Amino acid sequence: MRFNAKDLALLAKRPSGCFDKEGKLKICRVVGDEKLIEPRERWCRLKGNLLFLMKNKSSEASEVVILERCWVVEFRSKTDVSIILKFQSGEPDLYLEAASKPDCEAWAVALGEANSEGLRNKIQQLQRLIMEIKEERAADEARQFLPSSQVDSLREPQFTSIQRIANEPKLEFSLACKGLVAATRDRKLNTFIQVSVVHPAEHILTRYSSTEIVEGTRDPLFLTGVTFPPEYPIYEETKIKLTVYDVKDKSQGTVRTSVLPDHKEPRADVGRSFLGYTTFTVGDLVKSKEQQLTLTLRTSDGGKTVGTIEVNLVKMGEFEDGEMGHITTDAQDQKFLCFLPLKSCSCGFLSATCAHNTENLERMTDRRAKEECALVHECTAPEGLSGKDNLPSLNAVLKNPICKLYRFPTSDNKWMRIREQMAETTLSFHVPKELINLHIKEDMRRNQELKDLGELAPHWDNMRKSVIAHCDQMLSMYQDTLAELGKHTGSSFKSSCSKGEKTLEFIPINLHLQRMHVHSPRLKDALYDVITVGAPAAHFQGFKNGGLRKLLSKFEAERRNTGYQCIYYSPENTAKAKEVLSNINHLQPLISSHADLLLNSASQHSPDSLKNSLKMLSEKTELFVHAFKDQLVRSALLALYTARPGCVLKKPAVPRNSAEEGDDLKHQDHPSQIKRQDSIPHHSEYDEEEWDRVWANVGKSLNCVIAMVDRLLEKDNSSKIKEGESDPSAADCKVLHAGGDWYEQLYPLVITLKDCMGEVVTRAKQSMAFVLLQELACGLPQCLMLTLRRDIVFSQALAGLVCGFIIKLHTSLHDQGFLQQLHTVGLLVQYEGLLSTYSEEAGMLEDMAVGISDLQKVMFKVIEAKSEDFLPIITGRREHYVIEVQLPAKMFELLPQEIKEGKLLRMYPVLFNVGINEQQTLAERFGDTTLQENINQENLELLKEYYNLFTEKMPPDCLPHFQEQNDLKGLLENLHQNIQAKRRKNVEIMWLAATICRKLNGVRFTCCKSAKDRTSMSVTLEQCSILRDEHQLHKDFFIRALDCMRSRQTQGALNESDDPETGCLTDNKPTSRHFYPVALLLVSSHLLVVWLILSLALLLAKYQ
């Protein structure tokens, strides 16, 4: 790019008012984390996208920076006053340091808006503002010259809204056809209905949804209904168009409902033919006496009648009679075409993978039919379940619901209605952002603690500098990620297309709520919830070296052999060090505040207040003292002393972490063995018993305070008895004098307590920080990368857990048995994994297993919401998190007293995985399934532990539908036998674990790689099995109901090559992707042999 140097020089010398911003900044170039030179002060002037750098205000510009194809990185800490300009061209970054934080923020905003993209956004904003002003002026001018009647007509038309229950669909109806006319007399029709909506204000036809395809009859009765969600703009004046099509080419298995515009007839080559259409208004249906319309279907020219169509208004809670004989007698004749499931693969037909998954998943149906085990109803729909009280808090979590309506026959020839709902959750982004913010604060606090270690020997000091440099780099990465997530707009979930994006790696994949609301003729309404989410895994980092389970084990083995460079502390000891630091930061301010309250009570001469303050001070101080009652603190203090320059030991000893680690340290060339002859007064001698004395001084100081308070109260009581009925004015004077006397006697003791506590805190903080220094130094940079990977996986798992807990709490607020179980035992959270143990998915399973196991350190707390913001609040640190769930006041009053008082609620996560795809076939025949077997066995023990706690603490009548012949103990034993059997693709494990979870009032999760194909197949099979076992679904309609729920066609106007979840356009490709081009393989005979073996294996897996 060429510039005129003279023009630029003239522009730089223009008066100050001509520039967008100017001022002094310290500037240098940065490569990576290293500054090429020390920052130098420059006078900076910003004009448009040009940044002029000058030595002083009157000198010429020494450099011009063009602010294009660059972005600003602003540091979020309160003390940092620097920003960095990063360039896409790869040239060194530009470091800019301001004089103050406000000046730094002002420069960051100005530089961010200086490029052409920022200018373009400003222009667009101004254009929109101008258009709005013009429209308002034009409307005002038109009204000045029109009569009042015409002015009223110009206003927006008023439409009649449909009155429905809050949070319920506005309109739902079912469809059936009779007497359809075929082109040829002998042909049996394969029909479906396409539903379109004509909005009264716009008069534009919009395709809305479609039914399933009913095959082989001229009188089809469609099981899939039509539902309009609460937020959909539908009125009584809205017209609905119903178009009936006949699918001719059944081999295509597709109906192109979004290929052609609405006003054109479909061509014959698209696999369907137009039969007829009809229209009606919503008002006609709502106001009809029987809430049913019988409409005539006509051809496009409106002349020929080709049959009739029945539209029945559906209301959940009311029963539908009639025509059961019609559907049951024709059940054998009416067939159903199966399409892709709700979260389907991108091909236009059911792939070989989906068909293979279906074959494996449906094995469990035989077992369910035999045992017919009753499942626990998620909710019996008590009064107020859908009321307005719980809507704000639930709507803060769920958004963009997609509803589907079905009607299925029962075994006694009655109709039951099913409403299926899939909803996104705002927690997909809220929880990770809160968690990253906590990580940033925790890491900044840790870095400061490392800096506060004081003077260290050169070896340890260099180690500390290296650790802090790496930690600062990771901290910057967390800050950049949080900044990028703050800019995110659009959908509230991460699609599978984005699972490899770095900026979204903390976000769970496809986190959704899958809810089935069942209304049966003879049973109470029931809700069944399943949370679907992609397996928590670090997709961006990849799985070349395995997942967390393998990486952590390998890292721990390597860390034991670090030699003399650092001291090895076990993971238990490092976790203990973090716990001690957390207790210090929590308890020290509490003790100080209670000590101040004690002095305040003494100054006021209030005996009762003095007793309460002393009680609280004693409790917190005892906890404080107990926190340091550990050998780790003693050994860490000794190790820290040996790391000081010029250390001299009274008793030469190598610092030990524990008895079992002493042998390892004897073989290390530890720096503690090095002694210096010079003596530094601060480190002249080290007494190993000094810590015991310092630690014990806190308890002794507290005992002195307690003794003094007891003495003062005793004197006060005796003086009151002696005075009796003395002069009141004299008594008041004595009280005032005694109050001052109390304060004067307690003040030095309290100060001594604080001083002793401060000395303990200083020593303990430094020693525990030294332990953390060893943990980081022994494994740089792998330690930090593993921490990052674990944080990523945990963030994804936690977002799903918080969503599941909130949904479960809302649906079970009226279930006193569940609430008692929640605060007495805890909540069972069962994850159903469908990952294979082959290739990358084995690494995903390892990540997922560690992430779900880490959820055990999460506790929940329910609090009353103080504002309209009902999103959960996350507090804590990496080893211990507390999630505060906010409820409105009316809902909060329904909770037991224990939960209202803030009792922490425990989580018991368990994971059972069974691979079901072709890759699992390869793993079982040519690979290893030990990982899956170990995970299932470990989590079975955790499930048994929860069951034992449940039976010990809960009464036996708390389980609804408890059957002696098929009780929980029997189910657990059956699950144990199936896990020990080690059968291939034993899907029995999945349904047994799911049944136990529902019986124990747990939360269900279903996961696969992306929460699409395998997840949807599993969820729909589980839903239909529940309908059969719990709600008497007609046995002849099980497969049809399953296919109906899996039908992608019923979602609406979707092209078969458009993936609704990914938003990607894909071509129709053959399912057999293992037939590679033979010409490329003929280059080598070895490649040809490998190709033949792989092809044969995949064919065997397909047709097994």
Contact 162, 236 (CB under 8 A): yes
Rounded CA-CA distance 488/586 in Å is: 34
Determine which helix (DSSP H) or strand (DSSP E) holds 573, and give its type and residue range: helix 571-603
1007 a catalytic residue: no
Contact 482, 505 (CB under 8 A): no
Task: Provide the residue type at 893 as one letter.
Answer: E
Task: Provide the residue type at 40 as one letter.
Answer: R
963 CB-near residues (< 8 Å, 6+ apart)? 373, 374
Give the SS3 label for residue 220.
coil
Tokens of 817: 């048995």
Kindly provide the residue ranges of all beta strands, DSSP E only, lying in 157-264, ordered along the sequence: 171-178, 190-198, 205-210, 214-215, 226-228, 239-247
Tokens of 400: 């963009």
* Length, in residues, of the chain: 1104
Taking only Cα atoms into account, the Rg of the chain, rounded to an integer number of angstroms, comes to: 36
Closest CA relative to residue 502, chosen from 463, 542, 536, 533? 542
Q: For residue 424, what are the β-bridge partners?
A: 399, 512
Distance of CA 307 to the CA centre of its chain: 50
Rounded CA-CA distance 305/180 in Å is: 9
Instruction: Tell me whether strands 1003-1008 and 827-833 are parallel, antiparallel or unpaired.
Output: parallel
Contact 998, 990 (CB under 8 A): no
Give the SS3 label for residue 858.
strand
393 CB-near residues (< 8 Å, 6+ apart)? 810, 865, 870, 886, 887, 888, 891
Q: For residue 197, what are the β-bridge partners?
A: 206, 240
Lookup result for tokens 């079982």:
924
Closest CA relative to residue 42, chosen from 33, 53, 34, 32? 53
Lookup result for tokens 């137009």:
274
Q: For residue 509, what are the β-bridge partners?
A: 494
Tokens of 489: 């707009």
Rounded CA-CA distance 44/27 in Å is: 9
Catalytic position from the list 1008, 1024, 1044, 1064: 1008
Instruction: Tell me whether strands 50-54 and 40-47 are parallel, antiparallel or unpaired.
Output: antiparallel
Rounded CA-CA distance 353/29 in Å is: 53
Rounded CA-CA distance 403/388 in Å is: 20
889 CB-near residues (< 8 Å, 6+ apart)? 864, 865
Distance of CA 688 to the CA centre of its chain: 48
Closest CA relative to residue 361, chosen from 1024, 1051, 1005? 1024
Rounded CA-CA distance 343/514 in Å is: 11
Tokens of 256: 């192109």
Determine which helix (DSSP H) or strand (DSSP E) holds 415, and give its type and residue range: strand 415-425
Tokens of 78: 């309160």
Contact 738, 690 (CB under 8 A): no
Closest CA relative to residue 534, chosen from 479, 496, 477, 567? 496
Contact 655, 767 (CB under 8 A): no
Rounded CA-CA distance 360/408 in Å is: 25
Q: For residue 530, what are the β-bridge partners?
A: 514
Supply the residues annotated as catalytic: 1008
